[in-house]
Amino acid sequence: MQTCYSGTAVRAAERTLLDAGQGEALMRRAAWGLATVVLRELRARGPVSGTTVAALVGTGNNGGDALWALAFLRRRGVDAVAVPSGERMHQAGLAALLKAGGRVAHAVPDSAVLLIDGVLGTGARGGWEPPRVPEGAAVVVACDLPSGVDADTGHVAGGVIPADVTVTFGALKTGLVVGAGAHAAGRVEVVDIGLGPHLGAPDVSSVECEDALAVFGPPAWDDHKYSRGVLGVCAGSDHYPGAAVLVCSSALATGLGMVQYAGPERAADLVLAAHPEVVAGPGTEGKAQAWVVGPGLGSDKDALSRLNEVVAACVDAGLPLVLDASALALVELEDLARLRSAGCDVALTPHQGELLKLVDRLAPEIADGFADLAKADPVAAARRTAETLGAAVLLKGSTTVCAAPDGQTFVQNEGGAELATAGTGDCLAGLVGSALARTSGDGQRSTVEKAAAAAWLHGTAGKRAAEGGPFGSSRMPVAVQTVLAER
Ligand SMILES: NC(=O)C1=CN([C@@H]2O[C@H](COP(=O)(O)OP(=O)(O)OC[C@H]3O[C@@H](n4cnc5c(N)ncnc54)[C@H](OP(=O)(O)O)[C@@H]3O)[C@@H](O)[C@H]2O)[C@@H](O)CC1
Ligand SMILES: Nc1ncnc2c1ncn2[C@@H]1O[C@H](COP(=O)(O)OP(=O)(O)O)[C@@H](O)[C@H]1O
């Protein structure tokens, strides 16, 4: 499990050490870590001595880190060039650079093979417009975070110089794992500067391979089909029959004990043609241990009555429930309240558009300014919705955010934009359903953690599928099987 801290929390942890007079030591530790990564990048490309490394240097301590790093690099024979972005530079850092034989220039030299972005770190406020830098040739290494990325949220209000590598200090920051911030950061390396004991509880976590496999592991030797998880799927309609197939196929690809399908004849026939092992019928009777409802259901009376039947089945038996797609537009507060009272784990899986509609309809008390919040701070938006509706929220997008009503939050970035194709959300619903069905008795992991495990598998499978060229969502189940087979 990877853990992240908000930029604000990292600053607070630093403050304790700054107050104890350790500011300079911290900065030199950070700068040494940055210089070490830069040297590694240079060595991977050829000789180090004589190559030009430039740093865009801001007015604050982020610039100070960059100046000290340049000073260390100069001692390795690098032509170290500081390019100030403002009127002033960190004094001790500048003195160290000049003493080591580095120089100051007013533009990034064309000869620079590597550019350090040391303009803004955790002290940035609002947006920033980067200066023109020579295009293409230089590797970009961001100091602490790419300038212009909000360290708490990942929001980029102005411009940003996308980094190949970000060397971040003290702890992985939330802004480096969410949305535009995650995209701009490139590969992230964390340099320990001794903040550990002062950091407190993490802000968000990310499920990694091992955590996901603990949910989607192989069967135990004595498992039988009813102990490996039985998932009920209420998806698809005469109008959208394919959704039923995608949900069932993805769930089956994880190796469940059984998938039970509830839906109309046309969709059921397609499901059975693809997977004769599915037990299909019009209603919810059966042995399901969790349900997925919503993909391709539509919005008519029939869709509503099918949703109601599934909610009733879950309430009766205390089963976990995934509400996706059409179900998000049909579910009512009373349904959520009944599910909560019955002790059912509930996961709502909207994309951003569905989230806004859901909040408008069911949580008007938080709707004011919510669209802006969802854009700038998806973690806060998912958390607020989860808390208000009393259910786990899996918010889909370039970063998938899984938030629990108590604030526990996971962010997952395994997938890429190849997943932006119709039906991949249906596949994800099948995976979340499988995660809940197969762990319905284990009580060890929270619903959001299980949802995050499904998001890990979905994103990783998306990447795997993309290796074979452009793809549609029907390729996802095979990719899921491949990912699980390879681990
Ligand atoms: N604390 C420590 O001991 C350690 C800290 N460390 C490092 O310090 C970094 C934090 O340093 P920081 O607090 O000086 O803030 P920083 O990110 O350099 O930016 C502030 C400067 O930028 C300016 N500015 C702000 N917004 C702007 C904008 N939109 N557009 C343009 N300018 C803008 C603002 O100028 P002002 O407007 O106030 O005149 C101010 O001068 C942290 O990320 C890490 O790298 C490490 O060395 C470990 C030890
Ligand atoms: N740019 C992107 N980068 C990574 N993942 C993405 C991107 N765009 C969409 N996705 C993922 O693709 C899936 C799309 O789901 P959804 O919008 O519900 O599609 P559908 O309703 O067509 O099935 C989600 O899991 C989402 O996180």
- Taking residue 365's Cβ as centre, other Cβ atoms within 10 Å add up to 8
CATH number for 298: 3.40.1190.20
- Domain region containing 91: 2-201
Together in a domain, 65 and 120: yes
Whose CA is closest to atom 40 on ligand 1? 60
Query: At which of 178, 201, 224 does a domain end?
Result: 201
CATH number for 87: 3.40.50.10260
428 CB within 6 A, ligand 2: yes
Pure H helices in 186-297: 209-215, 242-253, 265-274
Q: How far is the CA of 162 from the centre of ligand 1 (A)?
A: 19
pLDDT tens profile 276-326: 999 999 999 999 999 999 999 999 999 999 999 999 999 999 999 999 999
Please state the φ and ψ torsions of residue 162, each to the nearest 5 degrees. Answer: -60, 130
Together in a domain, 327 and 455: yes
Together in a domain, 220 and 264: yes
Enter the ipTM: 0.94
pLDDT tens profile 140-171: 999 999 999 999 999 999 999 999 999 999 99
Together in a domain, 193 and 218: no
Q: Which long-range contacts (CB under 8 A, 24 or more apart) does 357-362 make?
A: 357/328, 357/329, 358/328, 358/329, 358/385, 358/389, 359/385, 359/388, 361/329, 362/331, 362/332, 362/333, 362/336, 362/389
Whose CA is closest to atom 48 on ligand 1? 27
Kindly report the length of the chain: 487
Q: How many domains is the chain partitioned into structurally?
A: 2
pLDDT (0 to 100) of residue 422: 98
- Taking residue 141's Cβ as centre, other Cβ atoms within 10 Å add up to 28
Together in a domain, 383 and 364: yes
Cα(133)–Cα(85) distance, rounded to whole angstroms? 12
pLDDT tens profile 345-399: 999 999 999 999 999 999 999 999 999 999 999 999 999 999 999 999 999 999 9
Cα(108)–Cα(344) distance, rounded to whole angstroms? 59
Cα(165)–Cα(139) distance, rounded to whole angstroms? 8
417 CB within 6 A, ligand 2: yes
Cα(82)–Cα(97) distance, rounded to whole angstroms? 8
pLDDT (0 to 100) of residue 442: 80
Residue numbers in the chain where pLDDT is lower than 70 = none
Together in a domain, 473 and 451: yes
pLDDT (0 to 100) of residue 137: 72
Write the CA distances from 178 to 251, 255, 474, integer angstroms: 27, 31, 27
Together in a domain, 147 and 289: no
Exposure of 483 in the CB half-sphere (CA atoms within 13 A):
30
Together in a domain, 332 and 468: yes
Cα(195)–Cα(233) distance, rounded to whole angstroms? 47
Together in a domain, 214 and 362: yes
Query: At which of 166, 201, 236 does a domain end?
Result: 201
Cα(60)–Cα(311) distance, rounded to whole angstroms? 55
Together in a domain, 192 and 233: no
**Cα 367 from chain centre:** 24
Name residues contacting ligand 1 (CB within 6 A).
14, 18, 23, 26-27, 30, 58-63, 65, 120-126, 128, 143-144, 169, 193
Residues 6+ apart with CB under 8 A from 13: 5, 170, 171, 195, 198, 199, 200
Atom of ligand 2 nearest to the CA of 324: 18
396 CB within 6 A, ligand 2: yes
pLDDT (0 to 100) of residue 283: 93
What is the C-alpha R_g of the chain?
A: 25
Together in a domain, 158 and 29: yes
**Residue 228 DSSP SS3:** coil
394 CB within 6 A, ligand 2: no
38 CB within 6 A, ligand 2: no
Q: Which amino acid is at 382?
A: A
Cβ atoms of residues 264 and 237 within 8 Å: yes
Query: At which of 155, 183, 201 does a domain end?
Result: 201
Cα(29)–Cα(35) distance, rounded to whole angstroms? 10
Together in a domain, 326 and 464: yes
Exposure of 287 in the CB half-sphere (CA atoms within 13 A):
12
